[in-house]
Amino acid sequence: MPEVELTLIAISASESQKGNFVLVFEENESFRRLPIIIGDYEAQAIAIALERMSPDRPMTHDLFYNAISQLDAKLVKVIIHKVENGVFFSHLILAAPSGELVIDSRTSDAVALAVRFRCPIYTTEEVMSKVSIVLDDPSDAFTNKRGRLEDYSIEELERILEKLLQKEDYRSAVRVRNAIKLKRKDSN
């Protein structure tokens, strides 16, 4: 079955499941979105990697990244291959000296590793047809297919900040405001 490439466009607090977070993926060739609910710890592990923060000690996903790298292997892609009863199933596809390896993984762990390895994330058309959301009028804030705040212009960041403030998402607004300040400082 053909693979559908996804881009992680947002991580935010879940409205439907308090205390959890939602990863929002967008199909690269359209505005179909794939939301996946994950736990707080998993969201933190992904956000730390996206923001390129370095904790004092390696987190579990950093440990796996280091182990895979030390074994001369590389994560080449993640495939979210199935959804059953709201639970997503993923495979890690590794290139190793012994050949290609396919490893079963929780989707949140697979994404945390994909962000660290900067590898693509795919799903299947079957998964997309079951659970994706199609937007009639996609938000300007997240249609540029970028994963990091520093990749946006100051004008784009200001639009994102305005939308976050309207939604009262103050945690995200602080991150965007800090990115704006840093960009202004760097441009001087």
Q: Are residues 139 and 156 in the same domain?
A: no
Q: Are residues 39 and 68 in the same domain?
A: yes
- CA dihedral over 35, 36, 37, 41, signed as positive or negative: negative
What is the per-residue pLDDT across 25-50, written as a single tens digit (0 to 9) for each? 988 777 789 999 999 889 888 988 88
Q: Are residues 81 and 94 in the same domain?
A: yes
**pLDDT confidence of 138, banded at 50, 70, 90?**
very low
Q: In this predicted model, which residue has the larger pLDDT, 15 or 91?
A: 91
The CATH number given to whatever domain includes residue 101 is 3.10.690.10
Number of structural domains in the chain:
2
Average pLDDT (101-130) is 95
Catalogue the long-range contacts made by 124-129 (C-beta closer than 8 Å, 24 or more residues apart).
Answer: 124/1, 124/2, 124/3, 124/4, 124/79, 124/80, 124/81, 124/82, 125/1, 125/2, 125/4, 126/1, 126/82, 127/4, 127/34, 127/80, 127/81, 127/82, 127/83, 127/88, 128/4, 128/27, 128/32, 128/34
Under 8 Å between Cβ of 162 and 154 = no
Q: pTM score, two decimals?
A: 0.71
Segments forming the whole domain that contains residue 157: 148-188
Q: Indicate if the pLDDT at residue 126 is higher than 90.
A: yes
Q: Are residues 32 and 102 in the same domain?
A: yes
Q: What is the reported pLDDT for 53? A: 81
Q: Indicate if the pLDDT at residue 127 is higher than 70.
A: yes
Q: Are residues 75 and 39 in the same domain?
A: yes
Q: Are residues 152 and 135 in the same domain?
A: no
Q: Are residues 135 and 181 in the same domain?
A: no
Average pLDDT (108-133) is 94
- CA dihedral over 16, 17, 21, 23, signed as positive or negative: negative
Under 8 Å between Cβ of 187 and 155 = no
- Residue 38 sits at φ, ψ, to 5 deg, of -135, 170
Q: Indicate if the pLDDT at residue 168 is higher than 70.
A: no
Q: Are residues 134 and 158 in the same domain?
A: no
- Which residue's entry shows tokens 């074994």? 71
Spatial separation of the C-alpha atoms in residues 103 and 119, rounded to whole Å: 15
**pLDDT confidence of 59, banded at 50, 70, 90?**
confident
Q: Are residues 187 and 117 in the same domain?
A: no
Q: Are residues 94 and 186 in the same domain?
A: no
Under 8 Å between Cβ of 17 and 40 = no
Q: Are residues 90 and 134 in the same domain?
A: yes
- Residue 11 sits at φ, ψ, to 5 deg, of -130, 125
Q: Mean pLDDT for the chain?
A: 84
Q: Are residues 50 and 119 in the same domain?
A: yes
